[in-house]
Amino acid sequence: MITLRIKEICKQQGTTLNALAERIGVSQPSISGIATGRQKPSLDTIEKIASALNVPVSELFAAPAEGVITCPHCGKSITLKAE
């Protein structure tokens, strides 16, 4: 299962999944399913998402920095530190 960084990028840009869904012409449940990895997007949809968010397609798949995770609820980055 691949989870795209859609929620994280939307949060960074101050937009919502609903607004993104409207911009690319898909339903809110569809974009939510894609963002959580429950639904597989087509290449065309991935390209539309990247274009609407004004990021390269690769940015949707970029791995987070080592030791950094993204909160699945709020989209904030959390830095993990070893003790």
Structure confidence at residue 22 (pLDDT): 96
Residue 4 tokens, joined: 């795209």
Read off the pTM: 0.74
Structure confidence at residue 25 (pLDDT): 96
**Could you give all domains of the chain from N- to C-terminal order, each with its CATH number?**
6-79 (1.10.260.40)
Each of the 83 residues of the chain gets a pLDDT tens digit; together they read: 567 889 989 988 999 999 999 999 999 999 999 998 899 999 999 999 999 999 999 889 866 667 776 666 666 777 777 76
Structure confidence at residue 54 (pLDDT): 94
Q: Answer positive or negative: Cα dihedral of 35, 17, 43, 68.
A: negative
6 bridge partner residues = none
Angle between helices 43-53 and 6-13 (to 10 degrees): 20
